[in-house]
């Protein structure tokens, strides 16, 4: 199973979207945006012929809106405005929009086709491809969802100029993770860039390389039975950081949580799998410089561990980690004790 991905230069984006949508038969077209992407991003492609008769659904922005209430609102709009199983949904936005829009389409009338047009770097290299859709539930990230690939994904750096620097770096963290799964040259290239944000207008080659890493993995293992677990590198701790911050009313960008989680999980990789300590320290130093640190104390360890217990990779054996024995050499299904996790958190707090 292969993602259909169209990489589009900024000056050909509207033409490429029209070409794609003209090749699809549908009765009604629905465009899902959020309150940020409607004025900032959709306006850049609103001249597409296919969007002239489109029916718009706009939802609140931010991950706190990736919930049941917003999902029900999308379903109500689809139902009340004539959507059928022959309709097409186009999600224009970041990972929140592509996740919840894809899930809404996948479950409405047992499945409506959808196209993703990601507008953040994070969504381009991560959320919009690979077929994962879903919502947060009971304070847990992506607790409810299904695997269902979009009909196509259109990726263009045309939208990167709309991003605050912090949101750009949120996506860059996932690119660093992909590089660690790919090759030493990819990794070295990314952590040698002092100011990635200043290069955003010329970022398409880097995006393509990162997306292709993910696609190679998800094509081989579409439903996360084996190799796809490699993509969860940094996410066991990262999702715990993210959920912890959300529960405490101080949400952090997903990519920043992943970057901080990567420091912990590379430490565990060094201890458990002999990942080269110098590469671990180089990566940790780059993350500290570009992503700062997440303030935790020893008293928070139990809460973070309890959040890790909800990770979807877990079995009865405990908390399941993807680690690395070296760059490009993922090691799946590593069950790490609470004491060892605490050591990683200690390193995160004290070793950087």
Confidence of residue 226 (pLDDT cuts 50, 70, 90): confident
The two beta strands, 55-59 and 132-137, are unpaired
pLDDT digit string, tens, across residues 179-213 = 999 999 999 999 999 999 999 988 999 999 999 99
pLDDT digit string, tens, across residues 156-167 = 999 999 999 999
What integer pLDDT is reported at residue 351 of this predicted model? 72
Question: In the 3-class helix/strand/coil scheme, how is 66-123 assigned residue by residue?
Answer: CCHHHHHHHHHHHHHCCCCCCCEEEEEECHHHHHHHHHHHHHHHHCCEEEEEECCHHH
Domains of the chain: 5-162 (3.40.50.1970), 165-350 (1.20.1090.10)
Active site residues: 110, 132, 174, 214, 224, 228, 232, 235, 239, 254
Beta bridge partners of 58: 33
212 to 55, 130, 277: CA distances (angstroms): 32, 11, 27
- Closest listed residue to residue 255, CA positions, set 290, 204, 295: 290
Is residue 320 classed as helix, strand or coil in its secondary structure?
Answer: strand
Confidence of residue 333 (pLDDT cuts 50, 70, 90): very high
Looking up tokens 């589009």 gives: 8
Res 313 pLDDT > 80 = no
Contact 150, 116 (CB under 8 A): yes
Q: Which residues contact 95 (CB under 8 A, 6 or more apart)?
A: 118, 120, 122, 123, 126, 127, 128, 254
Where do the DSSP E strands lie in the chain? 5-7, 29-34, 55-59, 88-93, 113-118, 132-137, 140-147, 152-155, 319-326, 329-336
Res 1 pLDDT > 70 = no
Report the chain's mean pLDDT, rounded to a whole number: 95
pLDDT digit string, tens, across residues 98-145 = 999 999 999 999 999 999 999 999 999 998 999 999 999 998 878 899
What integer pLDDT is reported at residue 80 of this predicted model? 98
Output helix, strand, coil percentages for the chain, rounded to the nearest 5.
55, 20, 25
What the block records as the tokens of 63 is 């991950």
What integer pLDDT is reported at residue 3 of this predicted model? 82
Q: Which residues contact 37 (CB under 8 A, 6 or more apart)?
A: 61, 92, 93, 94, 97, 119
Confidence of residue 82 (pLDDT cuts 50, 70, 90): very high
% residues pLDDT > 90 (the chain)? 87
Confidence of residue 223 (pLDDT cuts 50, 70, 90): confident
Span 317-335, average pLDDT: 94
What integer pLDDT is reported at residue 340 of this predicted model? 97
């Amino acid at each position: 199973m292969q993602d259909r991905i169209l990489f589009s230069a900024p000056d050909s984006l509207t033409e490429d979207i029209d070409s794609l949508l003209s090749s699809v038969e549908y009765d009604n077209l629905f465009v899902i945006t959020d309150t940020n992407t409607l004025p900032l991003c959709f306006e850049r492609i609103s001249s597409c012929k296919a969007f002239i008769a489109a029916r718009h659904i706009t939802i609140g922005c931010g991950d706190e809106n990736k919930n049941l209430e917003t999902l029900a609102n999308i379903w109500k709009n689809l139902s009340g405005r004539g959507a059928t199983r022959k309709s097409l949904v186009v999600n224009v936005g970041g990972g929140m929009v592509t996740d919840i829009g894809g899930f809404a389409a996948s479950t409405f009338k047992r499945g409506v086709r959808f196209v993703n047009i990601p507008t953040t770097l994070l969504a381009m290299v991560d959320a919009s491809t690979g077929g994962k859709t879903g919502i947060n539930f009971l304070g847990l990230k992506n607790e409810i969802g299904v695997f269902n690939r979009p009909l196509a994904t259109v990726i263009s750096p045309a939208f990167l100029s709309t991003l605050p620097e912090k949101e750009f770096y949120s996506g860059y963290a996932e690119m660093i993770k992909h590089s660690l799964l790919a090759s030493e040259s990819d990794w070295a290239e990314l952590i040698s860039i002092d100011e990635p944000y200043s290069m955003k207008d010329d970022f398409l080659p880097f995006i393509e390389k990162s997306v292709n890493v993910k696609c190679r993995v998800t094509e081989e293992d579409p439903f996360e039975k084996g190799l796809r677990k490699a993509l969860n590198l940094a996410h066991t701790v990262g999702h715990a950081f993210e959920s912890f911050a959300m529960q405490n009313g101080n949400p952090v960008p997903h990519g920043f949580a992943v970057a901080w989680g990567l420091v912990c999980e590379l430490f565990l990789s060094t201890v458990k799998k002999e990942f080269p300590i110098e590469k671990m320290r180089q990566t940790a130093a780059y993350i500290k410089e570009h992503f700062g640190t997440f303030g935790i104390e020893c008293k928070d360890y139990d809460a973070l561990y309890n959040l890790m217990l909800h990770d979807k990779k877990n079995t009865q054996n405990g908390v399941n980690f993807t680690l690395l024995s070296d760059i490009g050499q993922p090691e799946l299904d590593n069950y790490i004790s609470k004491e060892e996790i605490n050591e990683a958190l200690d390193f995160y707090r004290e070793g950087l």
